[in-house]
Amino acid sequence: MTRRAIVVITLGAGALLVVLGSLFPLYGVDTEVRPGPGRPSPADVTRLVALTGWEYLEEPTPLNRPEGAEFDHPVYGYGLVFAAVLAGIGALLQLRTPLLAAIGRFGVLAGFGLAIGTLWAALETLRSLFGVNTMPVSFVTQETFVGTGAWLIGLGALALLVGAVMAHDWPARVPRPTGVAVYQVDDDDTPPFGIAIPVSELDVPPAGPAGPVAPPVAELPPVVELPGAARSSADERRHPTGGNPSTVD
């Protein structure tokens, strides 16, 4: 798997975690009310208040709430979804040209910052709304908690950051040459008359005959002159060494 594929998968997983985190509770408060003197309630009453990226949760639902009366809560889901969209577009741009990939990397960083900022704003707002307890501790106990949605968004933001860092590819890789590459070296690297190449003598066995060998020619016996045979005039003029007759004195 290539580095670009790992970057795209990491960014896509981070964007998905941010969207899923907006559907779960971000922050909540568990309130336990104990009966005190003069209170008719025979047992403790537990109440849960939480907020997701889209709705306000309250369990159990108050019985005396007027119909149509709802808590006007801030909606943080739009910011989280927009951050995930930025990260998703940035992940897809990593598969395009280098210029578009660079634009996509900055889009991923913008999505990371938006997700972290939205999560921080949600936690601070809910802590200020439900974190103050004005009732005596002997009667009411409040316990705040960070919901599953906040953890998912945090993991998604971390994945976006890791993917953005990997996409920047530091240090930059040297591109491979596609054609003929010519490398120039300094004069000091090579002697002026070149580099001597060691030559070793090879033991080559003598080659055999290329074809059939003719049998040796038998030597003829010397010519014996018969006594009384007449000698021609040409033979008399021939040089004893067998030279040309024209050169014989």
Residues 140 and 131: their CA atoms lie apart, in Å, by 13
Task: Find out whether 15 and 104 touch, Cβ atoms under 8 Å.
Answer: no
Q: What is the pLDDT of residues 34-48, one digit of tens each?
A: 665 555 555 566 777
* Cα 91 versus chain centre, distance: 13
Cα–Cα distance for residue pair 159/14, rounded to 1 Å = 5
- Residue 14 has a pLDDT of 92
Phi, psi of 111 (to 5 degrees): -65, -40
For 28, 81, 139, the CA distances from 24, given in Å and listed in that order, are: 11, 14, 30
The span from the CA of 113 to the CA of 18, in Å, is 12
Q: What is the pLDDT of residues 113-171, one digit of tens each?
A: 999 998 888 888 777 776 555 555 556 677 778 888 889 999 999 999 998 888 876 65
- Average pLDDT of every residue of the chain: 74
pLDDT in tens, 12-28: 999 999 999 989 888 88
Residue with the larger pLDDT of the pair 87 and 197: 87
The most distant pair of C-alpha atoms in the chain lies apart, rounded to whole Å, by: 181
Looking at residue 142, the DSSP 8-state letter turns out to be E
Report the distance separating Cα 158 and Cα 173, nearest Å. Answer: 25
**Lowest-pLDDT range, 56-60, 71-75, 143-147?**
71-75
Nearest to 22 by CA among 198, 148, 162, 144: 148
Residue 62 above 90 pLDDT?
no
Residue 248 pLDDT > 60: no
Listing DSSP states for 6-70 in one string gives HHHHHHHHHHHHHHHHTTS--EEEEEEE---TT----S-EEEEEEE-SS-EEEESPPTTPPTT--
3-63+72-168 to CATH, choices 3.40.600, 1.10.287, 1.20.140, 1.10.510: 1.20.140
At 128 the pLDDT is 76
Torsion sign across C-alpha atoms 59, 142, 129, 150: negative
**pTM of the entire predicted model:** 0.59
- What is residue 187's predicted lDDT score, i.e. its pLDDT? 58
Statement: residue 192 has pLDDT above 70: no
Across 7-16, 44-53, 196-205, 223-232, least confident range: 223-232
Cβ contact 93:103 at 8 Å: yes
pLDDT at 228 over 70: no
Question: Is pLDDT of 68 > 60?
Answer: no
Q: What is the pLDDT of residue 239?
A: 54
- pLDDT attached to residue 132: 56
